[in-house]
Amino acid sequence: MAKTAAPGMTSIATSAAASERRACAIIRVAGTAALLLMVAFLVILPAKPVHENIAGFTNPLLSFELASKPEHVFGVLGRPGDPGREDAVRRTDLGNYIDFLFMIAYPTLFAGIALLLESHGSITRATRRTMVALAVVMAIGDALENSQLLSLSRASDPTSMLPALARLQVFTRIKWYAIFVACALLAAGAWREREWWRWSAPFFAGAALCGALSLVYLPAIEIGMYVLTVGWIMAYTRSWHVPAST
């Protein structure tokens, strides 16, 4: 005689499958938005600084958001009257306005991946809630960061830039270290997965490690950003394999 699953076990399995479908839907929507916005950044943002990036950085916007001195801002955007400044400011400001959409997409992507891991039992509910809290923190930090960037791009007096630069350093660190802590939690959970995308774990872990290294070598943040993107893409790809509804 064939054995049948206990009603309680069937209910748990059905609930887990529903959570997985919900998580995959969140990842697909947020991931698609994030990917499209990243393409928009590639088209809109300046590919190189007017003068120079902060030493060790290759991405002008990232160099700008991690600026700590007026010279860093002028290196990326140019000084008033410099050829190229007007275009650099216009394109950078437009990118920062678009970033208000991106700062919704990528924290939602983090939350969706956490929900997917929870649906498989790879992380606990408490860890998933921590991930959601970190997603909120990184979004708030990013919004506050952007407000300072938009102010600095219009500034021309080095002395008047100092308060905004001080605030910028606080807000960027809040955003980035929330991201890197979230990466560490995702790495631990992804490694417990049984499917191919468990190999996203080394990329999430690599991003978290870059975050730790940035405490002594700030440009490690840029490396971590690229490593994290690989982990995101792997999770996004996995989200298109959804369990059938019952």
157 has a pLDDT exceeding 50: yes
**Nearest by Cα to 64 from 167, 171, 149, 164:** 149
How far, in Å, CA of 154 to CA of 152, rounded? 5
158 within domain boundaries: yes
Asked, for residue 225, whether it belongs to a domain, the answer is no
Residue 9's pLDDT is: 56
pLDDT given for residue 130 in this prediction: 98
Phi, psi torsion values for 214, nearest 5 degrees: -65, -15
Q: Which domain holds residue 112?
A: 15-174
Q: Can you tell me the distance from the alpha carbon of 246 to that of 77, in angstroms, rounded to the nearest whole number?
A: 56
Residue 53 maps to a domain: yes
Number of domains in the chain: 1
Residue 20 lies inside a defined structural domain of this protein: yes
Locate tokens 């700008």: which residue?
Answer: 64
Count other Cβ atoms within 10 Å, centred on residue 57: 20
- The torsion defined by the Cα of 178, 183, 185 and 187, in degrees rounded to 10, comes to -170
The answer to the question of residue 141 being in a domain is yes
Residue 246 has pLDDT above 50, yes or no: no
Instruction: Specify if 237 maps to a domain.
Output: no
Share of the chain above pLDDT 90, in %: 90
**Which tokens go with 166?**
């001080």
Is residue 186 one of the residues assigned to a domain?
no
pTM for the whole structure: 0.91
Whether 194 is covered by a domain: the verdict is no
Instruction: Give the rounded distance of the alpha carbon of 155 from its chain centre.
Output: 27
